[in-house]
Amino acid sequence: MRPTLLCSIVMVSVSMGTAAHGQIKAQPPKSRVTPPWDKGIQAISRDSFYNAIACGKQGGANPPCVFWDTGLCKNTDFTLAVYTPYKQVAYEVWQAVQKKQEPPTPSYADAQRTRITVGVTPAAGAKNPITGVTISRGGRVVKPVTQSLESGGGGKFIFDFAPFAPTEDITIELAGKVRTLKCAVDKAVLATFR
């Protein structure tokens, strides 16, 4: 059985003072993800570094091990992209393979300095600019270490690794000016994040 990502969207209408509740289910990549990974997002290690290099060498237009976050918490307001140390290494190798160049050995030291960035872009036609992203786990709300909001309604939110540890379910809260969306992610799905 493949893990699924369940996103529950809670929309709060600021102007009308009412709430509408709905749930959506985002799917992990449809094709088999290789090389396998079940450790979740973590600081770069020897294992994750070489696993990421192998991932990037696969090539192809959209390898699911590189772009595992495609469709993450899919909704009509925001598109999410998650940048991690693993993705940094895999993406650098993948780009070279795409250009038919010799795959590089990315900088291990640069990957060690990389944290988790949740990038939020407004979906086409959306009118709900992002104002903040938090993560709830175990009854605690974790705010990003740093954030930057962009003039186009998106932003970048940088987190440490602990909020994404695959030890318990989390909720990613996307606060917009018009409504807030909540995306529930179970720990089995967190373990597939890279």
85-98 vs 46-56: helix crossing angle, rounded to 10:
30
| 5 has a pLDDT exceeding 50 | no
What does the pLDDT average to over 130-145?
A: 96
pLDDT digits (tens, 9 = 90+) for 71-94: 888 899 999 999 999 999 999 999
Within 13 Å of residue 162, how many CA atoms lie on the same side as its CB? 9
Contact between 39 and 191 under an 8 Å Cβ cutoff? The reply is: yes
C-alpha distances (whole Å) from 75 to each of 23, 65, 83, 142, 189 are: 10, 22, 19, 22, 18
pLDDT digits (tens, 9 = 90+) for 151-187: 999 999 999 999 999 999 999 999 999 999 999 898 8
Q: Which residues are CB-contacts of 42 (< 8 A; sequence separation ≥ 6)? A: 48, 85, 86, 161
pTM of the predicted model as reported, rounded to 2 decimal places: 0.85
pLDDT digits (tens, 9 = 90+) for 44-72: 999 999 999 999 999 888 899 999 998 88
Model pLDDT, residue 78:
93
Report the chain's mean pLDDT, rounded to a whole number: 86
Model pLDDT, residue 56:
96
